[in-house]
Chains A and B, each alone.
Chain A
Amino acid sequence: MEIWGHINTFFSAENYTLFVVSIASGILCFAAGVVGTFTYLRKRALIGDVISHSVLPGVAIAFMLTGVKNPVYFLIGAITSGLLSIWIVDYVQAKSKLKPDTILALTLSVFFGVGIVFLTDIQHSENAAQSGLDSFLFGKAASMGMLDIQLFSVIAIINVVCIAIFLRGFSLISFDENYARGLGIKVSFLKSFLAVLTVITVAIGVQAVGVVLMAALLITPAAGARFLTNNIKKMLLYAGSFGFASGVIGVFISYSGTGMPTGPWIVVVLSLFALVAIIFGKEKGMYSRMKMRVSNNVKINNENVLKDIYKLAQDGENTITINDLIEKEKYPPSKLKSILKRLERDRHIDQVRGFVILSDNGRIAARAVIRKHRLWEIYLSKYFQLEEDHVHDDAEGIEHVITPEIEKHLIKLLDRPETDPHQSEIPY
């Protein structure tokens, strides 16, 4: 009930400002998530960190020159010094043997240091209006004024519109710059344009969450979204939605607790979204990859045992016992028993009083594995000129992976051979 009370007051007219702040921070995080998708895909995740630290001197200089606390001047200063930092990173990287990580760290710390120098100078000059510059350091979304919110929302929307217009170009330079260049796309223009959008987003975002956490607004939504889809449009949508939801929820949480900071809660919520996607994402998530690995292992074990039962039967053993298999297999007895149980469930074998009997289905399956194995051996010896005693190990692995299509292709390519390099017959 208490929570509903919170939600009610949250959306009531008295809390109009808070409502606006939460929506504004949602829009901000949406824009950051969308722009950050390209930053992520271009593997420049940490440039966001550099930009967010680098806007500080620009803001301080803007204040020193104008003497007023106008968000428009701040933004101009922030964007200028943010762009300068990107340019320096690119220039030093092109002209020296230093690696990107060193240059990023050096640039961000020096820009931030210079920013602090200016900031302390402003503080010591006892200018009454200086309070509020601090929000550029640590972010104070909750105390944003209406003017800030309107300005930021408008810019965030412009940002998103620009991305919608240049979506194709931005996607191309994110995935394959050279290919994009080959298509006659103006790569350097698009790169600079994307940089400008990123800097603008960061310059705004810093005021909501502070310099340190800004990198998360750019990167974390995209990192999560990447585990959900391979489609760039969907990825942008997911990243944007993660951002928006976290922005709103973060403001809500910080409002419901006393003295709770907004920015950090946005980042925590964002990280939770990303973690869930990273772990449970369809196909690419950790959980489904683990499941895939397990089911692959099951398949390999089943096929190996089946193959050995078939071979024992071929060798003329009329009655195959579990002990025969224990002797032949590399699996420990307990594991072997569970594999046999699975094979029985699949109706590949029957187990009667300790004897193992291959069913017709089992025979077909076993012959398929052996066929693939031997076809691969021929392929290796014929096309890679490998000695016949070198081909077995490779075939042992690939026999579980070859699909019916590849098998058909192999048979055609090798002209439906009768025997493998060891003169064993190939069962068709």
Chain B
Amino acid sequence: MNDFYIIFTASLVAINCALMGCFLVMRKMVMIGDAISHAVLPGIFIAYYISGSTASVPILAGAALSGILATVMIEWFTKKARLQSDAAIGVSYTLLFAIGVILISKFGENVDLDQQCVLYGEIEQIVFWLQPIGFGLQLPKQAIILLIVCVILLAGVIWGYKGLFITTFDPNFALSTGVTVTFWHYFLMSGVSLSTVVSFESVGAILVIAFLSGPPAIAYLLTEDFKRMIFLSAIIGIICSAAGYYVSMYFDVSIAGSISAVIGLAFILVFVGTRVVKSKVDVISA
């Protein structure tokens, strides 16, 4: 049963990240997702400091504000201070992460939180926090929170699909038709921030980045259709979660690390595969 709980939880993270990651990949903003996933550290710390380790969705949503703060900071650096955008990302998230680490080491004696946990999570421990959900079934607490956030994100994407889609693929056209590009930017960033914050405890920042970038990148190599890309990357994420879990059990190594490694392997397979197919097609058509 533990196998199921862990794979189920990882899959939920994968689905959340696939939803957000596809937009980030098409908007060329994955590194902002990376920045957010590190920059939420002060927010997470403050949330934990206030509430103890019993994280709940409202508290985590509050923590997600620090992720949005990071995007505001990046915008401020690029637009107002005219810093080039890659440097703006680098400067912002490192500063926020540093502040987070300092806060933890100064006030963190009573808080069960450390850098290690933020970076690569402790998914193997979620099975100690089972919660009955009725019908004699139970789920890890993390999985329930992830499920709630998954529903929120899904609802958000369905509700705002038109706006998100148009500002992703044709921001200039969107601007000219009066769509508020800024609103959809922050709408998406809130989603990324929320999914990062709720995922960090189970899988850590690194696997979040792997899920945000890997499955959408693989799906993008396989299809041009955006909706299909979202579905495909969710499925790829789930498969990688399951495969990664069994790899980690076999070699007795970190689960989050194995899943990232499997995502990398999947990418290499698809990357090489599509290149071989393409070169064959080229040969035939030539």
Instruction: List A residues at the B interface (Cβ < 8 Å).
Output: 40, 43-46, 48-49, 53, 92, 95-106, 108-121, 124, 137-138, 210, 212-213, 215-216, 218-220, 222-223, 226, 257, 259-261, 263-265, 267-268, 271, 274, 278-279, 284, 286
Contact check, B256 vs A113: say whether CB atoms are below 8 A apart. Answer: yes
Contact check, A43 vs B260: say whether CB atoms are below 8 A apart. Answer: no
Q: With the chains together, A87 CA to B89 CA distance in Å?
A: 23
Kindly report which residue of chain B lies nearest to residue A47, judged by CB atoms: B86
- With both chains docked as a complex, state the minimum distance between the C-beta of B145 and any C-beta of chain A, in angstroms: 22
Contact check, B258 vs A121: say whether CB atoms are below 8 A apart. Answer: no
Note all chain A residues with C-beta closer than 8 A to B212.
105
Note all chain A residues with C-beta closer than 8 A to B120.
116
Note all chain A residues with C-beta closer than 8 A to B116.
137-138
Q: With the chains together, A83 CA to B84 CA distance in Å?
A: 25
Instruction: List B residues at the A interface (Cβ < 8 Å).
Output: 25, 28-34, 38, 77, 80-84, 86-87, 89-91, 94-95, 97-99, 101-102, 105-106, 115-116, 119-120, 206-207, 209-210, 212-214, 216-217, 220-221, 248, 251-254, 256-261, 263-264, 267, 271, 275
Contact check, B221 vs A98: say whether CB atoms are below 8 A apart. Answer: yes
Show 29 A/B contacts (Cβ-Cβ < 8 Å), sorted by A.
Answer: A44-B86, A45-B84, A45-B86, A45-B90, A48-B90, A102-B28, A102-B216, A104-B30, A106-B210, A106-B217, A109-B209, A110-B210, A112-B260, A116-B253, A117-B251, A117-B254, A118-B253, A120-B252, A216-B90, A216-B95, A220-B90, A222-B87, A223-B83, A260-B105, A263-B101, A264-B105, A267-B98, A268-B98, A271-B95
Q: What is the count of residue pairs linking A and B with beta-carbon distances less than 8 angstroms?
A: 202
Note all chain A residues with C-beta closer than 8 A to B209.
105, 108-109
Contact check, B101 vs A109: say whether CB atoms are below 8 A apart. Answer: no
Q: With the chains together, A82 CA to B221 CA distance in Å?
A: 26
Contact check, B115 vs A138: say whether CB atoms are below 8 A apart. Answer: yes
Contact check, B258 vs A113: say whether CB atoms are below 8 A apart. Answer: yes
Contact check, A216 vs B257: say whether CB atoms are below 8 A apart. Answer: no
Contact check, B253 vs A114: say whether CB atoms are below 8 A apart. Answer: no
Contact check, B264 vs A268: say whether CB atoms are below 8 A apart. Answer: no
**Which single member of A45, A210, A267 contacts B87 (CB below 8 Å)?**
A45
**Which single member of B31, B34, B84, B94 contacts A216 (CB below 8 Å)?**
B94
Kindly report which residue of chain A lies nearest to residue B118, judged by CB atoms: A212
